[in-house]
Structure 1
Amino acid sequence: MPEKHLSTQFDSELNTVSTRVMELGGLVESQVQQAIHALGQFNAEVAHKVIETEKRVNAMEVEIDRELSSIIARRQPTARDLRLLIAVSKSTANLERAGDEAEKMARMVLSIIQSGTPRNLPASELRVAADLASGLLRKALDAFARLDTVAAVSILKEDDLIDKEFDNFMRVLITYMMEDPRMISPSLDLLFLAKAIERVGDHAKNIAELIIYIVKGADVRHASIEEIESVLK
């Protein structure tokens, strides 16, 4: 991912830590996909695997942060390289939080299964949003590996689709609970699950913004799409 530097050792260290971030991203992406599968099938075994994976995700985040701190302390990087290392650290944090959301999804699936009413819930309505969120995370990782700002902007635009799906699902779920108050408790689990899916998309969006920060040195976290596209011209 990083460009070549005068120090081949520094370049090697950057490549090593970038590879670790991609490994973490792959693990989190798999975790999210398994959580979606657990939801689609109401599969307790898969849900438990998602929860267990969180330990590995947390451990990898700590290892990457330790390595980044060591590089900064030993190399005292210049402005652009420091920007890259900061962005890598923030991306790692976003990946870990996306893993947290996958774990929440798995726990909500288990709660719904334990309630004994999974087949009566409108869980299938969440499939579009879940697939969008998983796909967005995959695209963010690919764009980060290539530092592709065009792909990053596309990701920022696509995140709006997940937000719209979440809003549509909220309306469906509210209507469902009004029609059958006995389903309010398991429906709330489904609501929290939907919010976790939306947050996975938000973390993918955050990574896309960090790509632009690395390449252009511009903080676009609160900028409109038009402003971001102007920065990239």
Structure 2
Amino acid sequence: MSNRHISSRFDADLERLSSRFFEMGGLVESQLANAMEVLNRFDPDLVEKVLAEEHRLNAMEVEIDAECGNVIARRQPAASDLRRLMAISKGITNLERAGDEARKIAKRMRRIATDSAGSNVNVAEIQASGRMAATILHHALAAFARLDTVAAAQIMREDDAIDDQYRAFVRKLATYMAANPRIISAALDYLSIASAIERIGDHAKNLAELVIYMVKGTDVRHVSRERLEHEALGD
């Protein structure tokens, strides 16, 4: 078999895996949108849809990860090609976990719907952070598709805004619970929802870090913001 044919087959493998990765990313985006719609307007059918789609996400993660391993074993890629495969493998784990968080939101909302005290909690910060999480997840997937390290660096700053909304909600929630103990159960469920959204932002940030890894070959996990931006924006 000619080297050219081997290269063509490898390119096809990469393209197929990339396509599956973005298919999974689109499903997670849909999961999050549905979960946030349940937060805005409780719909038991939509809750069940979010829960059911989680099984599909789990299966996709297993299938894509297995195929990444098969391609690495068969093709023995090096340098940027290996980094791309590794990034896809790590990226689907983050996508699956983001889907898990969307499922948690739906499940908590199902419980809140049975507690009339839940309507007394102002969830404006949760709604705002949910919109932010959806936005940065979309931006992270777009940066992954374009191998855009500048956009990846921007996502780090966008994730900080979600963290700020989360902290603001926690402070407000403590005040609510102190003033009205009847809402404590619902308030704790809302706190779990806020935490889930914050973690979705973290998973989007992890995807952005993988973009920098693919392009620059540098692992920027657990490094300072200054070092990360230097790696993302430097030549």
Asked if these proteins are the same fold (TM beyond 0.5), I'd say yes
| 1:92 equivalent in alignment to 2:99 | no
> 1:144 touches 1:207 (CA, 8 Å); kept in 2?
yes
> 1:42 touches 1:118 (CA, 8 Å); kept in 2?
no
Q: Secondary structure at the match of 1:207?
A: helix
Q: Deviations over 1:72-126 (max 9, x none)?
A: 1111111332221111100010000000000000000001012233322222331
Q: How far off is 1:226 after superposition?
A: 1.6
Q: How far off is 1:22 after superposition?
A: 0.3
Q: How far off is 1:6 after superposition?
A: 7.3
> 2:125 touches 2:166 (CA, 8 Å); kept in 1?
no
Spell out the pairing of 1:40-79 with structure 2 (5 A cutoff). Answer: 40-79=40-79
> 1:133 touches 1:198 (CA, 8 Å); kept in 2?
yes
Q: How far off is 1:228 after superposition?
A: 1.8
TM-score with structure 1 setting the length:
0.95
In 2, Cα distance between equivalents of 1:183 and 1:116:
9
Q: Which residue is 1:27 aligned to?
A: 27
Q: Which residue is 2:148 aligned to?
A: 148
Q: Which residue is 1:107 aligned to?
A: 107
Question: Which letter maps to 1:142?
Answer: A
Question: Which letter maps to 2:89?
Answer: S
Q: Deviations over 1:47-83 (max 9, x none)?
A: 2211111011111111101111110111111133222
Question: Which letter maps to 1:102?
Answer: A
In 1, Cα distance between equivalents of 2:126 and 2:44:
18
Q: How far off is 1:134 after superposition?
A: 0.7
Spell out the pairing of 1:54-203 with structure 2 (5 A cutoff). Answer: 54-203=54-203
In 1, Cα distance between equivalents of 2:96 and 2:32:
11
Cα–Cα, structure 1 residues 127 and 172, in superposed 2: closer, same or farther, change >3 Å? same
> 2:118 touches 2:187 (CA, 8 Å); kept in 1?
no
Q: Secondary structure at the match of 2:223?
A: coil
Q: Which residue is 1:17 aligned to?
A: 17
Question: Which letter maps to 1:55?
Answer: H
Q: Deviations over 1:162-219 (max 9, x none)?
A: 0000000001111011110011011100000100000000000000000000000111
Segments of 5+ residues of structure 2 without an aligned counterpart are: none
In 2, Cα distance between equivalents of 1:209 and 1:74:
27
Q: Deviations over 1:121-175 (max 9, x none)?
A: 2223311101000111010011101110010000011100000000000011110
RMSD over aligned Cα atoms: 1.5
When structure 1 is superposed on structure 2, of 190-199 and 119-128 the one drifting more is: 119-128
Q: Which residue is 1:211 aligned to?
A: 211
In 2, Cα distance between equivalents of 1:185 and 1:138:
32
When structure 1 is superposed on structure 2, of 107-116 and 86-95 the one drifting more is: 107-116
In 2, Cα distance between equivalents of 1:47 and 1:107:
7
In 1, Cα distance between equivalents of 2:117 and 2:54:
27
In 1, Cα distance between equivalents of 2:25 and 2:68:
16
> 2:125 touches 2:168 (CA, 8 Å); kept in 1?
no
> 1:68 touches 1:89 (CA, 8 Å); kept in 2?
yes
Q: Which residue is 2:230 aligned to?
A: 230
